[in-house]
Amino acid sequence: MTFPKNLFNSHSKEDGDFFLGITKILGFKPKTLSVYKKAFLHRSMNKKDANGNAMNYERLEFLGDSMLGTIISKHLYSEVPDGDEGYLTKMRSKIVSREHLNELGKDLGLINFVESRIPKSHFGQNIHGNVFEALVGAIYLDRGYKYCEKFIQHRVIGPYVDIEQLEGRVISYKSLVIEWCQKKKKSFDFDVYEDTGNDPLKHFAVKLSIGDSVVAKARATSKKKAEERAAKRAFFALQDKMEN
């Protein structure tokens, strides 16, 4: 492997290790290493550029989200010629769901590259998907659309995108439960309240009632996660009824 000239001179060990690790993940050599470093820079570092602008992965995350959506849309458009707009939108949502992106980030071990003042053990699950999107944004800025598409084909579409499996994948159990309740004209209520308990992080607990009965309970670090977790438990508890 031929390394960029002067890579190991001024920042030899740090930049060299980062270059090797990123090259292995990308499948090609980066041109501008600094843009990839920014993709893993957490806002807690409080770094600024020469113009005083904040430097962290969040803007790259925004860009990567757009690129990922565009490339996945193009793939689905080509692979499913009979899919209408609603179908294609639903399938894209499954591929780029936060849960799926978190899995991708974990599988690639991206959190190992994150530079932060916050201990990595304190991060929520979304850090994995956030830096994955930031990495996609960095690829686009460094090497352009074709390399961005190449990376997504290699790391997302090839190993993870199976149309038949995705058709049966549930994006939101909460949506399924609500749709079923509305269809069957059943009342429902997500009763959410703070529940810190003995946990160091604040948790929320939720009771999901359908009609007059509490059908599921769950806890999580956010209201949204607690509701989704309770809905998932309710779905499997009522699966026979909901599939009829």
DSSP string covering 19-79? HHHHHHHHSS--S-HHHHHHTTB-GGG-EE-TTS-EESSHHHHHHHHHHHHHHHHHHHHHH
Region for residue 173 given its phi and psi (left: phi exceeds 0; alpha: psi -120 to 50; beta: otherwise): alpha
DSSP tag of 3: P
Residue 103 annotated as part of some ligand binding site: no
Q: For residue 1, which of 31, 29, 32 has the smallest C-alpha distance?
A: 29
Cβ(206)–Cβ(195) under 8 Å?
no
Strand partners, 216: 208
Residue 227 annotated as part of some ligand binding site: no
Contacts for 229 with CB less than 8 Å, ≥ 6 apart: 206, 218, 219, 220
Q: Which two three-digit tokens encode residue 163?
A: 């149309």
The question of whether 103 is a catalytic residue gets the answer: no
Residue 130 annotated as part of some ligand binding site: yes
The question of whether 65 is a catalytic residue gets the answer: yes
133, 142, 149, 227: the catalytic one is 133
Q: Which two three-digit tokens encode residue 119?
A: 């201990």
14, 17, 58, 65: the catalytic one is 65
**Cα(first)–Cα(last) distance of the chain, in Å?**
59
Report the catalytic residues: 65, 133
- For the annotated binding site, the residues are 61, 130, 133
- For the annotated binding site for Mg(2+), the residues are 61, 130, 133
